[in-house]
Structure 1
Amino acid sequence: MVDLFLNQVLVENNSDQDKLNTEREIIGILENRILLLFFAAAECEKCQKFLPTLNDFFKKLKDPAYIEYPKLLALVYISLDQSEEQQERVLKELNKRILFLAFEDPYRKELQSIFQVKDIPAVVALRPDGSVLSPNAVQDISRLGTTCFRNWQESAELVERTFMLNEEFDDPNLRSATDPVRRLKYKTVDDKRKKSWWKLWEGGKDTHDEEEKDETWNVTTNENKGLQRRRAAF
């Protein structure tokens, strides 16, 4: 799926409209994600009606205000508008986290041909390997909402992981300022086992120390008693 946009220029739908044109940038934003290609046009009434639904769908899966861990999802707007002004009208309605191809980019038409898009709006859902999950997911998004993403995720065998650095092996110099808080929040089962084992070991150690103290006391007491008997004999 990343290969689809290598050697292409993607633009972020933010105020600066930053361009992503290096291989590293493209891979970083698209790799291991389900990709949605949204084909639409400003003059299409059905597209205008679908825009709020798509925005709500994308927001609930990507916006930290709605979800703690944003999903592995990317959305690219493929404009079929007749003018750049029309494209800008659609972009103003779309979420600021989406990507798009510039109006003058001929690759827009090429993608329309590759995925045989004839009717709009159309949302082509792609697996991370580039294969098609759904040739047009408009109905699924409208009917199922975010549930359809979970279905795609299972079908694509997309695994999300929250990694935590190992305290025993990571480099302390690479830890962030919030590392202590993160470690308290995301304790693993192994951490708990280590803590339990440590308590048991400490408990055993204390018991062993007490036994040694008792034995020492008994030996000392017996020696004192023997000394007292010898003195009495004299």
Structure 2
Amino acid sequence: ACALFSGRALLSRRSEQRLDTERELRAALQNRLVLLLFAERRCPRCRGFEPRLRRFCRRLTDPAHVERPEPLRLVYVGRDRCEQDYLEYLRDMPRSWLALPYGDEFGRELEQRFGVQELPWLVVLAPSGAVLVPNAVPEIRDLGTSCFQNWREAAELLDWNFQERQEFQGAPGRSLTEPLRRLKYRVWDEEQGEGERETE
């Protein structure tokens, strides 16, 4: 997800800090599940959903609520019609949330890329940038924080698969499952005349 914002800038609460270097963006987003919130301050549905979303994030990331905060970061992609509404949202949003600057055309690109159809819309991204949930608004409304475990497990599976592809890309496999078999079994090189496979 960090690569998605490469070369871009993000704002922290009250515009106190502008994250626009690769190092700052990596520190804020790397190895985290990233939530992209498409919303508008004056949208009635957005105002109705936001308290639930704030509780969701607080229960997962606030040390006052959990012993080990979850690796989660929210980025607000505001669709506000005027800058004043946007700035008011920035002043009120939780300190750990980030926001795309007002009027940044990248927000429109993100809308198209992730197929945003209505507001609010919440895209869940794995640390690798893969889409875990195209729109998590219904999940958070219906399941609360229990849906986060599903997201984390899916992200770990996706990232693990990616690591395995990287590890074995130098030696083309005979099948799609060969990297899995090589993890569980000792595979002897047939060219060396072994031709045997035994459980580790």
TM-score, normalised on structure 2?
0.75
Preserved CA contact (<8 Å) 2:140 2:147: yes
Equivalent residue, structure 2, for 1:47: 46
1:88 & 1:135 partners in 2: Cα distance? 27
Q: Deviation at 1:91?
A: 2.9
- Counterpart AA for 1:12: S
Equivalent residue, structure 2, for 1:12: 12
SS at match of 1:156: helix
Q: Which has the higher helix share?
A: 1
Equivalent residue, structure 2, for 1:34: 33
Q: In structure 2, do the counterparts of structure 1 residues 135 and 16 end up closer, same or farther at CA, with 3 Å as the change threshold? A: closer
1:46 & 1:22 partners in 2: Cα distance? 34
Cα RMSD, aligned residues only: 1.3
Equivalent residue, structure 2, for 1:104: 103
Structure 1: segments with no counterpart, 5+ residues = 159-234
Q: How many residues align?
A: 157
TM-score, normalised on structure 1?
0.64
1:154 & 1:36 partners in 2: Cα distance? 16
Preserved CA contact (<8 Å) 2:19 2:25: yes
2:137 & 2:87 partners in 1: Cα distance? 22
Q: Deviations over 1:160-202 (max 9, x none)?
A: xxxxxxxxxxxxxxxxxxxxxxxxxxxxxxxxxxxxxxxxxxx
Deviation above 6 Å: which 4+ runs of structure 1?
Answer: none
Q: Deviations over 1:121-180 (max 9, x none)?
A: 00000111111111100011111111111110011117xxxxxxxxxxxxxxxxxxxxxx
Equivalent residue, structure 2, for 1:81: 80
Q: Deviations over 1:12-42 (max 9, x none)?
A: 11x4520111111111111111110000002
Equivalent residue, structure 2, for 1:153: 152
Preserved CA contact (<8 Å) 2:32 2:126: yes
SS at match of 1:157: helix
Percentage identity across paired residues of the two chains: 41
Equivalent residue, structure 1, for 2:59: 60
2:72 & 2:152 partners in 1: Cα distance? 10
2:15 & 2:107 partners in 1: Cα distance? 21
Q: Which has the higher strand share?
A: 2
Q: Deviation at 1:51?
A: 0.6
Instruction: Return 33-42 or 62-71, whichever deviates more.
Output: 62-71
2:8 & 2:18 partners in 1: Cα distance? 10
2:58 & 2:149 partners in 1: Cα distance? 15
Q: In structure 2, do the counterparts of structure 1 residues 100 and 16 end up closer, same or farther at CA, with 3 Å as the change threshold? A: closer
- Counterpart AA for 2:46: C
Q: Deviation at 1:97?
A: 1.0
